[in-house]
Amino acid sequence: MYVLGFNAFLHDSGACIVKDGEVLAFAEEERFNRKKHTYEFPENAVRFCLDFAGIKFSEVSHVGFFWNPYKEIIYKWLPFFRFMPYSLSLFKKGAAINPFMKRIASMIGAKSALYDRFDGKGGKVPQFHFVDHHISHAASCYLVSPFDEAAIFVADGYAEHDSTLMAHGRGNGIEKLETVKFPVSLGQLYGAVTEYLGFKICNGEGKVMALASFGEPKYEDLFDRIVLPTNNGQYKFDFDYIGYQRYGLLKTMSDRFIGETAPPRVRESGLDQVYMDVAASLQQALEKHYFRMLNVLYERTRCPNLCLAGGMVLNSVANGKITENTPFKNVFIQPAANDAGSSLGSAMYLYHKFAKEPKRVPLNHAYGGPSFTDEQMEDALKNSGLKYERTQNVEKDTARMIADGKIIGWFQGRMEFGPRALGNRSILADPRKAEMKDILNARVKHRESFRPFAPSIKEERMSEYFESEHSAPFMLKVYRIRPEKIDVIPATAHVDGTGRVQSVSKEVNPRYYNLIDEFEKLTGVPVVVNTSFNVRGEPIVCTPQDAISCFLSTQIDCLVMGDFITRK
């Protein structure tokens, strides 16, 4: 049985196809249409999924959409009326990424948008379902996790009504335990302060997380007055400090908040200490309430396994501290924990609902996107007029170049799903040189100087370099680097001595693993710097042509595509 899932019209549109409980293909639309975090209909991603499965649309049994717009219509008016007349501002231009009425109309039309494009008229057509957003998120992690039972925690900006969900997964069932209702939303508060700090919501939260390490939580008391714990792990807000429920993106934090901190930071302007302190205080508040809720969830489920999804759980700094701050022993975070992953979740939920004897097939990788043949890669190189060579040992030759200080564009196999490049669409460099961070920024990435670059390490060497016994295959947990190793891999150490590490397993990605292994043979260090293969503001590359364009428009020294090597 084939089930297709897709998400669209909010942000990070994507699609996924599941066959008999196994995820066959999944991809985000931004990689195809080249618009970062696109909310457009994922036509390319759906087409890719069907092509990969080798089926026609009519062969799909069920289609899941990641959201129930009818439910949202009922519930979103409640906060709207509560904050009248100010909330009329929510209809103004710029108050939302995709304005409410337009978005709801698009979502209600999601079925026609899909069926019109993919010949879904007449004859046998798949059955269409709106799946509740947080059920999509919950299914996206639990139903592909290695666990038969798990506590499930979902948190994001908002769903149709909820912003946080605690649930209990057993077998193929998901039981809801507690919810927090929008506009109360830790995820939305994090996004609101992200906007206040001069970064974009749904894009800059990771920057705020990195910035937090440079500040002191001097506004702890302020955030304690904003976020107020209630029963059963829930919380409420003092909305006098917050603006998004009244003005949307036009003013995400209120005058009262500004009066106690500083005026909102203008985008791209200097970063005064006050903004770093606000970021640190926000991060501290998030962690405090995140762990408090997880502890309640543990008490309710008494299960050592935890599954996480939703945009808020991309907070890798907090994720890295979960096992220290809660009784949970095993934490599974789906690689696309953000909304893109809810396409996977809606498909997986429907499969388990409708299959007669549903199978559980754990997902241990994020390589769900397109791959390209040698011929396609060679054609792209020829068409671009670049000189290239074919190597007999790509891992060894690439490791040598990295050890010689070169910056490598590394394009291999199937593209990753989710926000992280995990060794198939990556830019790689030598972690041993502290100055490599500035070199990468000056020559390729042009990112904010306070943001760290991530390490990839051979899985079995994790605990030797990081203060953790746990693997981190999807780069969604930050761990402290062991003090004696910080000087060994300084290019990957953040200011507070941590790293957002990816543990690489030989089984899951043998080519990438072998490359790191060859690098270790040369240098004694089983780690490389891994940052996504893109330039600032653009999605990660998808095709050989994208990789060549990125290579030509930056000062990447060398492009390694399959077995082909092109040098500048």
Containing 3, the helix (H) or strand (E) segment is strand 2-7
Candidate ranges 12-20, 46-54, 153-161, 352-360; the one touching Fe ion (CB under 5 A): 153-161
Strands, E, within 315-459: which ranges? 330-333, 389-390, 408-411, 425-429, 454-458
The three-class DSSP label of residue 465 is helix
- Where is 116: in which H helix or E strand? helix 110-117
C-beta of 184 vs 381, nearer to Fe ion = 184
State the minimum distance, in angstroms, from the CB of residue 7 to Fe ion. 9
Contact between 197 and 448 under an 8 Å Cβ cutoff? The reply is: no
d(CA 16, CA 345): 9
The stretch near Fe ion (CB under 5 A) out of 78-86, 149-157, 385-393, 554-562 is: 149-157
- Report the alpha-carbon distance of residue 174 to residue 493 in Å, rounded: 39
For residue 167, the minimal CB distance to Fe ion (Å) is 14
The Cα–Cα gap between 456 and 168 comes to 32
Closest CB 372 distance from Fe ion, rounded Å: 31
Using CB under 5 A as the binding rule, the residues of this chain from 321 to 350 that contact Fe ion are 339
Closer residue to Fe ion in complex, CB, 156/557 = 156
Question: Cβ of residue 56: shortest distance to Fe ion, in angstroms?
Answer: 30
Residue nearest to Fe ion (CB): 156
- 356 to 395: interface string for Fe ion, x by CB under 5 A: ----------------------------------------
Which residue's CB is nearer to Fe ion, number 29 or number 339?
A: 339
Residue 156 binding Fe ion, by CB under 5 A: yes
Residue 10 three-state SS: coil
Asked if 72 contacts 78 with a C-beta cutoff of 8 angstroms, the reply is no
Q: How far is the CB of 344 from Fe ion (least distance, A)?
A: 12
Residue 136 gets which letter from DSSP?
H
Q: Which is nearer to Fe ion, 338 or 509 (CB)?
A: 338
Q: How far is the CB of 180 from Fe ion (least distance, A)?
A: 14
Structure tokens at 400: 């040598």
Q: Are 277 and 221 in contact (CB under 8 A)?
A: no
Q: Which of 11, 62, 129, 494 is catalytic?
A: 11
Residue whose CB is less far from Fe ion, 16 or 408: 16
Question: Taking Cα atoms as reference points, which of 143, 154, 157 lies closest to residue 18?
Answer: 143
> Which amino acid is it at 262?
A
Q: Let me know: does 159 contact 346? Beta carbons within 8 Å.
A: no
CB of 160 to Fe ion, least distance (A): 10
* Residue number, 162 or 178, with CB nearest to Fe ion: 162
3-class DSSP assignment, residue 197 = coil
Could you give the strand order of the β-sheet that contains 454-458, starting from the edge strand earlier in sequence?
389-390, 564-567, 558-561, 408-411, 425-429, 527-532, 454-458, 502-504
Q: Is the distance from CB of 138 to CB of 145 less than 8 angstroms?
A: no
**Spatial distance between the Cα atoms of 480 and 475, rounded to a whole number of angstroms:** 14
Angle of CA points 11, 16, 21, to nearest 5°: 140
Q: Could you say whether residue 72 binds Fe ion (CB under 5 A)?
A: no
**C-beta closer to Fe ion: residue 341 or 562:** 341
Tell me the site size for Fe ion, rule CB under 5 A: 2
Which CB sits closer to Fe ion, 245 or 343?
343
Residue 129 is a catalytic residue:
no
- State the nearest-atom distance from the C-beta of 165 to Fe ion, in Å: 10
DSSP 129: E
Q: State which residue, 69 or 562, has the beta carbon closest to Fe ion.
A: 69
Interacting residues of 479 by C-beta distance below 8 A, sequence separation 6+: 320, 466, 467, 468, 472, 498, 499, 501
Q: Which stretch binds Fe ion (CB under 5 A): 19-27, 156-164, 299-307, 491-499?
A: 156-164
Residue 93, helix vs strand vs coil: coil
State the nearest-atom distance from the C-beta of 103 to Fe ion, in Å: 14
**What is the DSSP pairing of strand 408-411 with strand 425-429?**
antiparallel
Contacting positions for Fe ion (CB under 5 A): 156, 339
Q: Which residues are catalytic?
A: 11
